[in-house]
A and B are shown apart, each in its own frame.
Chain A
């Protein structure tokens, strides 16, 4: 595996920015709409560099969130690795999809991610499963084209 040509500085700065976007305080009514920025960034990089970045990358990104802000260690790592597995196995197809089609895929991945996170939460506490918990699926799908275009512009189009 040749990782020499990965734009590590850009990638890490991106990750830090994604974390900032994720923790910046918003009104409590809007909090449910906040997309999981770190996951979206990880999806982008997995699609872009499937040969060099893999599930380990996603897992580490998830673990980093857990360490910094998580209440239960490992929950984001698990959710990230499940999401990354979905992306990695389908990346050959997804890379060539039209952007709208990609949005759908992103929605599915974010949904899986949310479901894993909620399942872990249900292990230790009693929560009501209500619709707002899945608002971020919709917002992620809507945000994806903008995020995708921005990242392609920054890092150069590659496929």
Chain B
């Protein structure tokens, strides 16, 4: 018993304070893929039955709805292209060097960490799809998290609500910078070191600031829902509700950022 316990402790210490065991992790965790595959069966079955067991009229109605949606989005995109071009021209005037454009890869959630304390999810893309460590993951509402481990055909994502996660954000209204930290609650994150005199109010939207170079700029992070001011404390406690449906979304997007060269004319025609 003692020998085993000591050996386990040794492993724990080695693994928490050094990265010597990383290769073993990567190699062995590929074996967890079949388990995720099995636990995913009910969801896949549901999706399959949704696809193939719905009536014709329902499908037609949905097609109608989607067509309208696409029309609306395309209308908005037209303005987007013009705005991008204008933005590029203005940046040119300011001698700014580059503008980032993002590509996305659709991915699906296949597993959730069994430990309720760690907000980790597994997604069905890995080395085979050029996923890399630190890659941002978003859902259709906002920023979800970042890839922390990549295996052959799946990878693990640390969510922004995990207590080990922090990301640089700014208030969309006035550009006030801050660090948003997870606290291990799927519905709340907090801001660190906000003094009572700083201009932040309930209802402010926060977007990623792009500082730190890991997350691209401008993705929605959340909305301020509560400001707790305690006279005895130096900082205000800012509670934010994440924009992404962190514990609900199944279809996610992996973001690949690329630099586009400054050429306003091309940007306008390219889109």
Query: Measuring CB to CB, which residues of chain A are less than 8 angstroms from any residue of chain B?
Result: 16, 19-20, 22-28, 31-32, 34, 55-56, 59, 62-63, 66-69, 71-75, 77-78, 81-82, 85, 120-121, 123-128, 132-133
Contacts and interface: CB of A to CB of B under 8 A. Distances in A.
Contact of B39 (A23, A34, A125): A23
Contacts of A123: 12, 16
B1 A72 contact: no
Contacts of B35: 16, 19-20, 23, 68
B164 A125 contact: yes
B39 A72 contact: no
Contacts of A23: 35-36, 39, 111-112, 114
Contacts of A73: 11-12, 14-15, 21, 24-25
B114 A22 contact: yes
Contacts of B113: 69
Contacts of A59: 4, 8
A55 B32 contact: no
Interface of B: 1, 4-5, 7-12, 14-16, 21, 24-25, 28-29, 31-32, 35-36, 38-39, 111-118, 120, 163-164, 183-184, 186, 247
B163 A127 contact: yes
A72 B114 contact: no
19 contacts: A20-B39, A24-B39, A25-B39, A25-B111, A31-B114, A55-B4, A67-B28, A69-B29, A72-B12, A73-B14, A73-B21, A77-B8, A77-B11, A81-B5, A82-B5, A123-B16, A127-B117, A133-B116, A133-B117
Contacts of A74: 7-12, 14-15
Contact of A124 (B16, B24, B114, B184): B16
Contact of A32 (B21, B111, B116): B116
Q: Which of B1, B9, B35, B183 has the most CB of A within 10 A?
A: B1
Contacts of A121: 117
Task: With a 10 A CB-CB cut-off, give which of B4, B111, B118, B183 has the most chain A CB atoms.
Answer: B4
Given A31-B116, A69-B113, A69-B114, A85 B16 contact: no
B18 to A, nearest CB: 11
Determine which residue in A25, A28, A68, A85 has the highest number of CB atoms from chain B within 10 A of its CB, and name it: A25
B1 A25 contact: no
Contact of A85 (B1, B38, B120): B1
Contact of A71 (B32, B116, B118): B118
Given A28-B186, A68-B29, A75-B8, 8 more contacts: A16-B35, A25-B111, A67-B31, A73-B24, A74-B10, A128-B183, A132-B116, A133-B117
A36 B254 CA distance: 32
Contacts of A31: 112, 114, 116
A78 B186 contact: no
Given A20-B35, A67-B28, A125-B163, A77 B4 contact: yes
Nearest to B15: A73
Nearest to A119: B12
A126 B163 CA distance: 8
Contacts of A72: 12, 15-16
Contacts of B11: 66, 73-74, 77
Nearest to A23: B114
A98 B16 CA distance: 42
B21 to A, nearest CB: 6
Contacts of B8: 59, 62-63, 74-75, 77-78, 81
Contact of A120 (B4, B12, B29, B38): B12
A69 B1 contact: no
B114 A34 contact: yes
